[in-house]
Amino acid sequence: MLLWRPCTVKLVIYNFKELQELEKSIYPKYKEIASNIPVQKADLSKNSQELTTAINKQGKVWHIEIDTIITNLKSDVEEIESKYLVVLNKQEDQITRTISEITQTIADIKKLLNSNDVSLVSEYKSKNAEFRRLPPTLKVPLPNFRSREIHTDQLTELFGSLSAVSFTSEKQGCSVSTQGTDYKPQDRLLRNKPRVTTTVNTSCRPLYDVTCLNDTEMWMCGNDMLNLYNTCDNQMKSIQTKSGSKPKDIAKDIAITKSGDIVYPDEDDRTVNIANTCSAQIQTMIRLRGWMWRWIPVNVCSTNSGDLLVVMNSDDNDKQTKVVRYSGLTEKQSIQFNDKGQPLYSPGGIFSTKYISENRNLDICVSDRGARAVVVVNQAGKLRFSYTGPVSSTKGKLYPSG
């Protein structure tokens, strides 16, 4: 007779229960999960195809719109050419007829000089007075095509983006979810290590600011000149500032408007000027007068809406700094203090250089070297945050300089 010890019996029972759990619970669940993976793969493939189709469809719509714009512009060019050709052909016909008359008159006079017929000579009437009235010289103002800078960020926003992706894993009835962010190409680019792609040698001594016109051309300012360079080191254009003055203790700044013109502050006469890049003519947009005379415009930025953001420093003992928004010639907004009445920006001065820009969220970003921070406020001028560098940075303090 085979006798079972109590511990052996317990072990057999335990193993039997394990077998039951494996066969009736765990194994079926694994099979269920495994069978669901091909379904998820199929859904993923179908979704990817639908996304690709949607992207291609949007691309075709954009191509149609772009082709329409190109066709309309070409049509405008042909219309302008046809219009001016009519005018030029008309004047050419008139001048040709006059030349023919002059030629005939010359022949008639020569014939008279060789003739002894007094009656013909007495009947001759001079046309020189008529011929002396020369026809006006037509000056046809030939149009030009001014391309605009392509902003990839804005195009991406207009074209569309992929929605957020969430991966969820389940564990013993509890779910742990890891949320993703909206996919944008720039997210990948920001993680890449910066590298030098092009070096441009300039005659700007010193070089104060650089603003890109497009992928191959950039405007630079140095001393009293605004210079346009391309990536091949060629100086394409040069414009002298209105007052011809050099900056004192604060670096000059330039910005490019939507129309492609250059805006820059002139500290000496406390103005903000705009330079037409085609005619090289400079006009004063903003002139600080009266109680505003104590403010000096030092930096500018052209916004997505066409407004102008101007950084101003006071020339009094307080050396205050503020940001003023202009729409055309009208002041729309002044940004200087936070909700507690404290200054948003460090006092102006030689060691407190500031640069201003508008980000893709339409926030106003000021790199403030004096505060060792990048100060970001929203469109209403409310402080969003002040970035002072990574907390665990081993490279020292942040000194933003551009």
Q: Each residue's pLDDT tens digit in the chain (402 positions)?
A: 444 444 454 455 556 677 788 888 888 888 888 888 888 888 888 888 988 898 899 889 889 988 998 998 898 889 888 888 888 899 899 999 999 988 988 888 888 788 777 777 777 788 888 888 888 887 777 778 877 777 777 777 788 877 655 555 555 443 333 333 333 444 444 445 677 778 888 877 778 888 888 888 888 887 777 888 888 878 888 888 766 554 443 447 889 988 888 898 888 788 888 888 888 888 888 888 766 678 889 899 999 888 999 999 888 766 789 999 998 888 899 999 998 889 999 887 777 788 899 998 889 999 998 888 899 999 889 999 888 877 655 556 777 776
CATH architecture, domain defined by 193-347: 7 Propeller (2.130)
Cα separation of 239 and 219, whole Å?
Answer: 10
Residue among 221, 313, 336 nearest 267 (CA): 313
The set of residues, in sequence order, having a beta carbon less than 8 Å from that of 322 and lying 6+ positions away, is 295, 311, 312, 334, 335, 336, 345
Domain boundaries, the chain: 193-347
SS3 letters across 33-64? HHHHHHHHHHHHHHHHHHHHHHHHHHHHHHHH
| Six-digit token string for 52 | 């690709």
